Structure 1
Amino acid sequence: MKTPVAFIIFKRPDTTEQVFQAIRQAKPPKLFVIADGPRTDRPEEVQKCELTRATIERVDWDCEVLNNYSDINLGCAKRVSSGLDWVFDQVEEAIILEDDCVPNPTFFPFCEELLDKYRYDNRVASISGQNVQFGRKRTNYSYYFSRYNHCWGWATWRRAWQHFDIQMKLWTEIQEGGFLNDILTDRQAVDYWTSMFESVFANPASTIWSYQWTFACWVQSSLGIISNVNLISNIGFGLDSTNVTANQKQRYGSLPTEAIDFPIKHPPFIIRDFQADSFTQETLFRQSKLQLLKQRLNKLLKY
């Protein structure tokens, strides 16, 4: 393996250990470790953070380990985004794993091959091992192209990450111009993402970073690569998890992984899979009818 791995950790030594063992098997030559600090109102997190960071001290293969540990709690959005800024200040590309995303062993060579293949293709912004299609496949190729950039086990390049903006300064212009309609074309999807982006724009530091990353990719008309089998099992849906909805717990917790076949079958075209994206929007990114009604009513009241 030649590609660096960025490992994002916090306060869960048990899940961190499982992901660490998967990284240990892959033996990356360089390991970037990004860690947030304990929250001041939760003194028990001091020891949890220390135990979690101790896992990294057991690197026993030929590997350069670089640590970016925060003494204070920055929160998910600031810690992950500042940590990845640090990573891409030093390398052109990386595979990224959080402390609860256990990869299938084939995830690493899958990312590595595609990082190489699409290194200079600005149409592609990310590579993901997270598949939420529940076995649905439109082709027999190894992956498909999506407007989504799932982040439970993924990879990207500096050229793509440079567009990330935690403040989402372009949101006002995109919103006023109605450009989400051009990107999504579906009214319910537009309502959902308008609500999400408005919330993030109002308080960017209090959210998870992935909304800003999605926005950054969309405003560049970038595509994400999604493996056609699920390569990542998220084991973090426990009492200690954060930023998890009931829908995600029920449907996506600890999904089994499947090895991807090699040699990789590359599609001979770069076309977004509309059917797969529609399924993702309707299942992973959905609002209840009541939520949609309230949102539309609020819009009307503004006028």
Structure 2
Amino acid sequence: MAKQLETPITFIIFKRPHTTVKVFERIRQIQPKKLFVVADGPRHEREGEAEKCAATRAIIEKVDWDCEVIKNYSEINLGCARRVSSGLDWVFENVEETIILEDDCIPHITFFQFCEELLEKYRNDSRITSIAGQNAQLGQKRTDYSYYFSSYSHCWGWASWRRAWKNYDLHIKLWQEVKKSNILDSILNDSKAVSYWESIFDSIYENPMGITWDYQWTFACWMQGGLNVIPNVNLVQNVGLGADATNFNFNQDVSFINLPTEAVEFPLKHPPFIVRNLPADRFIQKTVYGATRLDIFKQKLKKILQDKKIINC
């Protein structure tokens, strides 16, 4: 991209300077005029974490282009759920729309233009809740256009508007009513998928400050009948699987992680219809939201609750 990016970038960081610097260098290539930085604080019982957080934040000081850098740094550890959600609350109090990257999501350079153009195109279309950079179809082309529409809101590199984020609720207070009304049946039309998501939302409803924020975002999008833009090629590579991972720290082959990226072609070919791609969504439910991830989610949540009991004793 020859010109500076007009759309504000939101960069969410924590304690991984080795991945943060890779994402930062990609951001530097497009030189956004405004950069919001959201950082969680260290867990002081974790040896060396304060130093890792400091080294990660130091990368932001390397901004060497004309850019307004606006920081929201927590000095205490809020945890993933509270830090990301409160950080995005803060960002959307300041701007109407933004492109969002976490510290382990490395975008293809065309990701930024893709988001910027579609943020403008669907700015006032309440049917669309987000624009994703991730495509987890494992090489399957789902459309002849540049993107398709999905019920799933992939968050490894994405963009959205204040009008959509205002429906976000970390505590998913509507869940009990939604569950009693069998609303998920009409959204998913798949009994196994319904069971999966009921288990997820039950756990979050009981422990909203647990391990994640993005399932609540999926819930918010579904409760508004929203659709999400998914590129026809993968635009973001997640490199977060490893010892320092917060939500992914396990030794298993997860096929949708660390996928290579490729360029999206411009000018974009816009689909002439706004309809969910059901075969693509069924594939995502099976591949991304399968039983393995549900088991991992429950194991992580159980460990956090056990740790809390130890701390409270």
TM-score range, shorter chain: over 0.9
Contact 1:128-1:152 within 8 A present in 2 as well: yes
Partners of 1:14 and 1:207 in 2: CA distance: 22
Q: Spell out the pairing of 1:251-270 with structure 2 (5 A cutoff).
A: 251-270=255-274
1:22-64: CA deviations, max 9, x gaps?
A: 0000111100000000013213100000000000000001100
**One of 92, 98, 104 as aligned partner of 1:94:** 98
- Which residue of structure 2 aligns with residue 185 of structure 1? 189
- Which residue of structure 2 aligns with residue 195 of structure 1? 199
- Which residue of structure 1 aligns with residue 89 of structure 2? 85
SS at structure 1 position matched to 2:273: coil
**One of 140, 146, 150 as aligned partner of 2:144:** 140
- Which residue of structure 2 aligns with residue 47 of structure 1? 51
Partners of 1:5 and 1:249 in 2: CA distance: 31
Contact 2:138-2:256 within 8 A present in 1 as well: no
SS at structure 1 position matched to 2:11: strand
Partners of 2:249 and 2:140 in 1: CA distance: 23
Runs of 4+ aligned residues of structure 1 deviating over 2 Å after TM superposition are 245-250
Q: CA deviation at 1:137?
A: 1.7
- Which residue of structure 2 aligns with residue 151 of structure 1? 155
Q: CA deviation at 1:138?
A: 2.7
Answer yes or no: is 1:36 the counterpart of 2:40: yes
- Report % sequence identity: 61
SS at structure 1 position matched to 2:115: helix
Q: CA deviation at 1:83?
A: 0.3
Q: CA deviation at 1:249?
A: 4.8
- Which residue of structure 2 aligns with residue 57 of structure 1? 61
- Which residue of structure 2 aligns with residue 72 of structure 1? 76
**One of 170, 175, 183 as aligned partner of 1:171:** 175
Partners of 1:248 and 1:96 in 2: CA distance: 27
Q: CA deviation at 1:87?
A: 0.3
Q: 1:202 to 1:248 in 2, by over 3 A?
A: farther
SS at structure 1 position matched to 2:199: helix
Q: TM-score, normalised by structure 2?
A: 0.90
For 1:215, the aligned partner's letter is: F
Contact 2:81-2:209 within 8 A present in 1 as well: yes
Answer yes or no: is 1:222 the counterpart of 2:199: no
SS at structure 2 position matched to 1:213: helix
Q: 1:246 to 1:189 in 2, by over 3 A?
A: farther
Contact 1:237-1:249 within 8 A present in 2 as well: no
Count of matched residue positions in the alignment of Structure 1 and Structure 2: 290
Contact 1:145-1:226 within 8 A present in 2 as well: yes
**One of 228, 232, 237 as aligned partner of 2:236:** 232
Partners of 1:244 and 1:255 in 2: CA distance: 15
Partners of 1:135 and 1:238 in 2: CA distance: 24
**One of 7, 10, 16 as aligned partner of 1:6:** 10
Q: CA deviation at 1:248?
A: 7.2
Q: Spell out the pairing of 1:196-215 with structure 2 (5 A cutoff).
A: 196-215=200-219
For 1:206, the aligned partner's letter is: G
Partners of 1:126 and 1:88 in 2: CA distance: 14
Q: CA deviation at 1:246?
A: 4.9
Partners of 1:174 and 1:160 in 2: CA distance: 19
- Which residue of structure 2 aligns with residue 131 of structure 1? 135
Partners of 2:131 and 2:240 in 1: CA distance: 21
- State which drifts further: 279-288 or 22-31: 279-288
Q: TM-score, normalised by structure 1?
A: 0.93
Answer yes or no: is 1:274 the counterpart of 2:273: no
For 1:196, the aligned partner's letter is: I
**One of 21, 28, 31 as aligned partner of 1:24:** 28
